[in-house]
Amino acid sequence: MDYRVLLDDAMETARRSPERGRVADYIPALAQADPTAFGMAIATVDGEVFGAGDWQHPFSIQSVSKLFTLALALAEGGDGLWAGVGREPSGNPFNSLVQLETEQGIPRNPFINAGALIVTDRLLKLTGDAVGAVRGFLQAESGNPEVGVDDSVASSEARHGHRNAAMAHFMASYGNLRNPVDSVLAHYYAHCAITASCRDLALAGLFLARHGIRADGSRLLSRSEAKRINAVLLTCGTYDAAGEFAYRVGLPGKSGVGGGILAVLPGRGTVCVWSPGLDAAGNSVLGVAALDALTTATGWSVF
């Protein structure tokens, strides 16, 4: 199979869509992203990677990091995590606070911001350095030591992160944080501000396609834990558009407001796509369109 031709075709089909979306600007440093950037990569379970367009260009991974924090927190701490965060779709925007008050400060799932703050908090408690754990994992799995934190993006978000700060304080008021709010927020902003390319993320996500096995052959997660993460990615990884994403793409996936989406083909590989223009739910417009085109052309799906 010629993966590069598949990627070129999927990107070409996506480009025909008249929609382009809008670059996120609520984190001012992200507003500088090039709206015309577009890249896509496929990694196979044997560690090969193929790309097209801007697939080697680093971008701000933002919420794609939440997939890795969840995997590492489960690997380090096990199922106790689920006492503090649920596994149901929220049906609300990623930065919504509304359900927290009636649900005792326990967020619906680990991929909305409130849930990711809980996961970051637990990973910080378990490792002493949540952002270091995520960065180290991405570097090891991608083989790219350049994967790092863009401090200007992290501090830009910290200056404008009133909603995340409100959520963290609110959850702390329910006793659902184990660390000081400021430390949790600092680690959360920093892991969201990691920069990596489609190539790096496709390789780093392969453990989910390999049912829990890392690049060096060691086991990060049990087969069942990997399945569970894929399940939560499918139902919650693209927020209140997860139903639409499952309908169009048919794969577990995680999006970020930097315009990246990492999708998993269990047993086969991963696909990562990047284009900064976002739809109203915060998912990359061309990214979803390209994944839709790829899975439609190949029949790749978990269904």
For ligand DON, the closer of residues 50 and 111 by Cβ is 111
Distance of CA 88 to the CA centre of its chain: 17
The secondary structure of residue 180, as a DSSP letter, is: -
Do the annotations mark residue 164 as ligand-binding? yes
CB of 248 to ligand DON, least distance (A): 16
The residues facing 264 across adjacent strands are: 270
Nearest to 113 by CA among 256, 222, 232, 289: 256
CB of 256 to ligand DON, least distance (A): 4
For ligand DON, the closer of residues 150 and 292 by Cβ is 150
For ligand DON, the closer of residues 212 and 277 by Cβ is 277
For residues 220 and 24, the answer to whether their CB atoms sit within 8 Å is no
Do the annotations mark residue 144 as ligand-binding? no
CB of 234 to ligand DON, least distance (A): 16
Among all residues, whose Cβ is closest to ligand DON?
Answer: 63
CB of 107 to ligand DON, least distance (A): 13
Do the annotations mark residue 131 as ligand-binding? no
CB of 292 to ligand DON, least distance (A): 17
Strands (E), 137-227: 148-149, 194-196
**Distance (Å) of CA 151 to CA 114, 193, 233:** 22, 7, 27
For residues 196 and 147, the answer to whether their CB atoms sit within 8 Å is yes
For ligand DON, the closer of residues 62 and 235 by Cβ is 62
With tokens 């075709």, the residue in question is 9
Q: How many CA atoms lie within 13 A of 6 on its CB side?
A: 18
Rounded distance between C-alpha atoms, residue 257 and residue 237, angstroms: 12
For ligand DON, the closer of residues 200 and 225 by Cβ is 200
The secondary structure of residue 284, as a DSSP letter, is: B
CB of 2 to ligand DON, least distance (A): 31
Residue type, 37: A
Contacts to ligand DON by CB under 6 A: 62-63, 94-95, 113, 157, 164, 192, 255-257, 282
- DSSP 3-state of 95: coil
Strands 253-255 and 269-274: unpaired
For ligand DON, the closer of residues 6 and 192 by Cβ is 192
Do the annotations mark residue 142 as ligand-binding? no
Do the annotations mark residue 257 as ligand-binding? yes
Binding annotation: 63, 113, 157, 164, 188, 239, 257
Residues annotated as binding site for substrate? Answer: 63, 113, 157, 164, 188, 239, 257
